[in-house]
Structure 1
Amino acid sequence: MKYRNNPTERVTSSGAVIRFDSQKEARRYDHLILRQQAGEIRDLRLQVDFTLQEAYTDQEGRRIRAIRYRADFTYRERDGRLVVEDVKSRPTRTREYLIKRKLMKEQRGIDITEV
């Protein structure tokens, strides 16, 4: 139970169970599903990974892991614009997240929408 969140599940129309880290994230999913059904957005995806820096081997031969950011949701607006969303609360706006948010803007030109 990271950050004292209550993990929550939702069942999709196909019967699949999706587990969310918090009730807030599950409620946001419910809202986005309704928007997609209404034709306001399309291509809703969950837990999308973005590589911000590839893995590499340093001069001493040590393997350095890639830096990745995992978005809670991505989708496209009617005009085709990609939206990357992260459900945040004060405790989840960590120093690491803030750095990755800056790297997303600098490396990918993507602003993360915090909900």
Structure 2
Amino acid sequence: MSNRGLRYNRIEDMPQGMQQLVHKAGQAAPARGPADHQPRAPVEKRPKYGNVITTVDGIRFDSKREARYYEQLKLRQQAGEVHFWLRQVPIHLPGGTRYVLDFLVFLRDGHVDFVDVKGRETKEFRIKKREVEHHYPIKVLLA
């Protein structure tokens, strides 16, 4: 974005027509200089669904719920129920779209759980879940 604009330090620096407009309005234009221009502080972007980004064990999670599910997986692993898991696993769909699973959980009994952690089911989630289950022989679990 260009930093060009109509800024004058004094009314006398303005073109004649602009000076007349300022005088007609009955007020002088405030002097603007480099000290008057202060950059805005960066505004932190709010998450779309009000989720709180959380860090556990140095890993960044998109929500508290996702972080809690991770902690449950660790406990299930210690108990011997879960062998291991993968996070943020992309599933490529026709048309160039992709669906990212929150967790791919490998259980000790040989089963694999495809898990998405959601606070609420969104329309986009339902559509992509249906598409994934149509194209692949899997069932996405909502946690």
Residue 65 of structure 2: which of 24, 35, 39 is its match? 24
Structure 2 portions without partners, runs of 5+: 1-46
Q: Which has the larger radius of gyration?
A: 2
Across the aligned residues of Structure 1 and Structure 2, the Cα RMSD in angstroms comes to 1.3
TM-score of the superposed pair, with normalisation by structure 2: 0.63
Structure 1, 25-34 or 37-46: larger mean CA deviation? 37-46
- CA deviation string 1:37-95 (max 9, x = no partner): 22211221110111122x5xxxxxxxxxx1111011111122211101111122xx222
Residue 47 of structure 1: which of 79, 88, 93 is its match? 88
Structure 1 portions without partners, runs of 5+: 12-16, 56-65
- Rounded Cα–Cα distance in structure 2 between residues aligned with 1:81 and 1:39: 14
Which of 1 and 2 has higher RCO (CA within 8 Å, sep 6+)?
1
TM-score of the superposed pair, with normalisation by structure 1: 0.78
Is 1:6 equivalent to 2:55 in the alignment?
A: no
2:109 alignment partner AA? D
Runs of 4+ off more than 4 Å: none
Equivalenced residue count is 97
- Rounded Cα–Cα distance in structure 2 between residues aligned with 1:43 and 1:32: 9
